[in-house]
């Protein structure tokens, strides 16, 4: 671990020292015909990579600007840091909305002049919110949005004679029944309730936990006008953490090995019959339809929590215009095309598992005309009815990671005290807010 930290520090230092040149300090001669290098966080060889390639090809056909897509998935952020240190940043990066703060902090992206962007008024206000930094400036162009819902093994539920959960108590009861009731009928104790990607990598534990936290009435931070105080150790947040630890430690209704599972390991646990309840995104529907069978599962909104509401994490991806590009005009043209009706429609990929646009951010897109699967409307409704993005701080990544480390520690060590751990996390949040100049 020490060697890894040294490498991380070295890369970060190289980025900081070299960013004046690599990221636009010495601007290269512009070339409107220069090929755009586009990095996407997608598994190489996947159908989503193919869709991104089709999007780039359609963009080139329309504008004449050449473009090349590179799909990377494992250690995407590390590879981007290395490219910055080597002064070889791509021109475009399509990546998660919550990565905006870190990219801005390191000077890896350029500010976007929204007013000059063709079609910008057609993009939804909430999607622009996810492209806006803590300083109120815009550093990305919205590309895709999404919310999350429960995927439940309907065949298991019906076999056990249980109803669709309406409360968290119902949800936990269903998970325990899936764990103890042999819902697949094979006579072996090899099924479980919850599938949870609880790895600390990329902060997955806190990413998953966010919907539970907000539905319980808790929060990571509280504040306004860019000034915050920790809320992660308030009573409502503690209730949410106790719910999570109960699933792992008391009910033991979570698939074993979840404490180290990322989403790439979690998805197969649901579709191969290891777990029967999975809070995940709409991008998995086509995959599960194919690998599990559409008739074997159902998709429902997360039941209201102790806070009285069902609140989903809102997420998505932005098109980031990377600093120091030799073709800034081409960058802008790509962002305009990717967010146009044509670009969004192509990115949605119908009802297939190649979708790179989950919910369109362009208000002129008629999703029902592109997708015949009405389950997408459930996710659209969840997104529109109060889904929440993470707090807008200068850099969310340290908060996400420290929360993941704490939560993962609690579910991995059932003897740990949640209140003590949350109080310590709140102090970590306070220190980070102070460091970022965002403390109230």
Helix axes 76-85, 2-22, angle to 10 degrees: 50
Q: Is the same domain home to 159 and 130?
A: no
312 pLDDT more than 80: yes
348 and 410 within one domain: no
Same domain, 100 and 187: no
Residues 182 and 108 placed together within one structural domain of the fold:
no
Torsion of CA 300, 302, 304, 309, to 10 degrees: -110
pLDDT band at 21; cut points 50, 70, 90: very low
- 4: pLDDT strictly greater than 90: no
In a domain, 389, yes or no: no
Of 313, 316, 321, 192, the C-alpha closest to 257 is 192
Rounded to whole angstroms, the Cα distance separating 295 from 283 reads 17
Tokens describing residue 372: 């015949």
Whole-number pLDDT of residue 64: 97
Where is 193: in which H helix or E strand?
A: strand 192-195
Supply φ then ψ for residue 5, to 5 degrees. -65, -40
Q: What is the pLDDT of residue 28?
A: 62
| Predicted pLDDT at 16 | 45
* 246 domain-assigned: yes
If asked whether residues 185 and 242 sit together in one domain, one would say: yes
Q: Which DSSP string do the residues of 310-354 spell out, in sequence order?
A: --PBPEEEEEEEBTT-S-HHHHHHHHHHHTSHHHHHHHHTTTSTT
Q: Is 361 found in the same domain as 343? A: yes
pLDDT at 109: 97
Q: Specify whether 259 is located in the same domain as 355.
A: no
Q: For residue range 170-208, what is the model confidence (pLDDT) as tens digits?
A: 999 999 999 999 999 999 999 999 999 999 999 999 999
What is the rounded CA–CA span in Å between residue 345 and residue 295? 27
Residues 327, 414: one domain?
no
Q: Give backbone dihedrals phi and psi of 292, rounded to 5 degrees, phi first.
A: -115, -45
Q: Report percent pLDDT > 70 for the chain.
A: 94
Q: Is 328 part of a structural domain of the chain?
A: yes
**Residue 17: inside a domain:** no
- Whether residue 348 is contained in a domain is answered as yes
Q: What distance in Å separates the CA atoms of residue 275 and residue 294, rounded to the nearest whole number? A: 16
Q: Is the pLDDT of residue 3 over 90?
A: no
Q: Is the pLDDT of residue 5 over 80?
A: no
- Over range 336-346, report the average pLDDT: 98
Residue 298 domain boundaries: 149-313+396-436
Query: Is the Cα torsion angle 204, 210, 213, 219 positive or negative in sign?
Result: positive
Q: Does residue 60 carry a pLDDT above 90?
A: yes
* Mean pLDDT, rounded, for 52-73: 97
Nearest to 256 by CA among 179, 155, 171: 179
pLDDT in tens, 99-152: 999 999 999 999 999 999 999 999 999 999 999 999 999 999 999 999 999 999
Q: Is the pLDDT of residue 349 over 60?
A: yes
Residues 47 and 79 in one domain: yes
- Mean pLDDT within 344-356: 96
pLDDT at 22 over 70: no
Residue 8's Cβ-side half-sphere holds a number of Cα atoms within 13 Å equal to 8
Q: Is residue 352 part of a domain?
A: yes
Higher pLDDT, 6 or 46: 46
CA–CA separation, 68 vs 57, rounded Å?
A: 8
191: domain CATH number is 3.40.190.10
pLDDT at 389 over 60: yes
Residue 1 has pLDDT above 80, yes or no: no
Q: How many domains does the chain have?
A: 2
Residue reference for tokens 């740990």 = 416
Model pLDDT, residue 29: 76
Tell me: do 141 and 67 sit in the same domain.
Answer: yes
The mean of the pLDDT values for the chain is 93
**How does residue 318 score in pLDDT terms, banded at 50, 70 and 90?**
very high
% the chain with pLDDT above 90: 91
Across the range 59-84, mean pLDDT stands at 95
**Strand 36-41 versus strand 67-72 pairing type:** parallel
Beta strands in 46-188 (DSSP E): 67-72, 92-96, 141-146, 149-153
- The pLDDT, as a whole number, for residue 27 is 57
What is the C-alpha to C-alpha distance for residues 373 and 356, in angstroms, rounded to an integer? 16
> In the structure, what pLDDT confidence band is assigned to residue 19 with cuts at 50, 70 and 90?
low
Least confident range from 2-16, 29-43, 157-171, 189-203: namely 2-16
Note whether residue 16 is domain-resident. no
Give 419's contacts (C-beta < 8 A, 6+ positions apart). Answer: 233, 238
Q: What is the mean pLDDT of residues 372-392?
A: 95
State whether 260 and 320 are in the same domain.
Answer: no
Whether 155 contacts 296, CB under 8 Å: yes
Alpha-carbon gap, residue 63 to 61, rounded angstroms:
6
The verdict on 269 and 415 lying in the same domain is yes
| pLDDT given for residue 201 in this prediction | 94
**Do 386 and 311 touch, CB atoms closer than 8 A?**
yes
- CA atoms of 55 and 51, how far apart (whole Å): 6
For residue 193, the tally of other CB atoms under 10 A from its CB is 29
3-state secondary structure of 365: coil
Residue 1 lies in a domain: no
Rounded to an integer, what distance in angstroms lies between the CA atom of residue 409 and that of residue 262?
16
pLDDT beyond 80 at 436: yes
Any idea of the CA torsion for 320, 326, 327, 331, to the nearest 10 degrees? Answer: 0
The reply to whether the predicted model has a pTM over 0.75 is yes
In this prediction, residues 318-338 reach a mean pLDDT of 97
Task: State yes or no: pLDDT of 331 exceeds 50.
Answer: yes
pLDDT at residue 386 in the model: 86
When computed from its CA atoms, the radius of gyration of the chain, rounded to whole angstroms, is: 22
């Amino acid at each position: 671990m020490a060697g890894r930290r040294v490498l991380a520090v070295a890369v970060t230092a190289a980025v900081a020292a070299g960013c004046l040149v690599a990221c636009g300090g010495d601007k290269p001669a512009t070339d409107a015909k220069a090929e755009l290098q586009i990095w996407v966080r997608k598994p190489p060889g996947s159908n989503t990579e193919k869709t991104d390639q089709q999007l780039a090809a359609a963009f080139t056909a329309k504008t004449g600007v050449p473009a090349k897509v590179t799909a990377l998935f494992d250690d995407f952020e590390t590879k981007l840091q290395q490219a910055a240190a080597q002064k070889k940043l791509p021109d475009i990066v399509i990546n998660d909305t919550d990565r905006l703060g870190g990219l801005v902090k390191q000077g890896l992206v350029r500010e976007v002049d929204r007013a000059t962007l063709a079609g910008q008024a057609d993009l939804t206000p909430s999607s622009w919110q996810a492209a806006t930094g803590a300083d109120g400036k815009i550093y990305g162009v919205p590309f895709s949005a999404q919310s999350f819902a429960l995927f439940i093994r309907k065949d298991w539920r019906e076999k056990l004679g249980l109803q669709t959960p309406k409360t968290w108590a119902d949800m936990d009861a269903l998970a325990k029944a899936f764990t103890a009731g042999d819902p697949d009928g094979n006579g072996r104790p090899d099924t479980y309730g919850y599938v949870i990607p609880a790895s600390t990598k990329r902060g997955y534990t806190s990413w998953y936990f966010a919907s539970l936290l907000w539905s319980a009435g808790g929060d990571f931070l509280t504040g306004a006008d860019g000034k915050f105080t920790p809320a992660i150790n308030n009573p409502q947040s503690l209730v949410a953490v106790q719910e999570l630890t109960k699933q792992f430690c008391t009910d033991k209704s979570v698939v074993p090995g979840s404490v180290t599972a990322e989403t790439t390991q979690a998805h197969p646990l649901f579709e191969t019959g290891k777990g029967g309840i999975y809070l995940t995104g709409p991008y998995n529907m086509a995959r599960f339809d194919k690998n599990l069978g559409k008739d074997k599962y159902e998709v429902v909104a997360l039941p209201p929590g102790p806070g009285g509401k069902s609140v989903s994490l809102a997420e998505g991806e932005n098109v980031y215009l990377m600093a120091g590009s030799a073709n800034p005009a081409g960058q802008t043209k790509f962002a305009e095309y990717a967010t146009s009706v044509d670009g969004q429609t192509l990115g949605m990929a119908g009802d297939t598992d190649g979708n790179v646009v989950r919910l369109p951010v362009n208000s002129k897109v008629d999703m029902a005309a592109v997708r015949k699967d009405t389950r997408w409307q459930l996710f659209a409704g969840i997104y529109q009815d109060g889904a929440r993005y993470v707090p807008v701080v200068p850099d969310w990544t340290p908060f996400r990671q420290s929360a993941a480390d704490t939560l993962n520690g609690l579910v991995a060590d059932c003897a740990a005290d949640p209140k003590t751990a949350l109080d310590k996390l709140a102090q970590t949040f306070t220190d980070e807010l102070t460091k970022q100049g965002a403390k109230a």
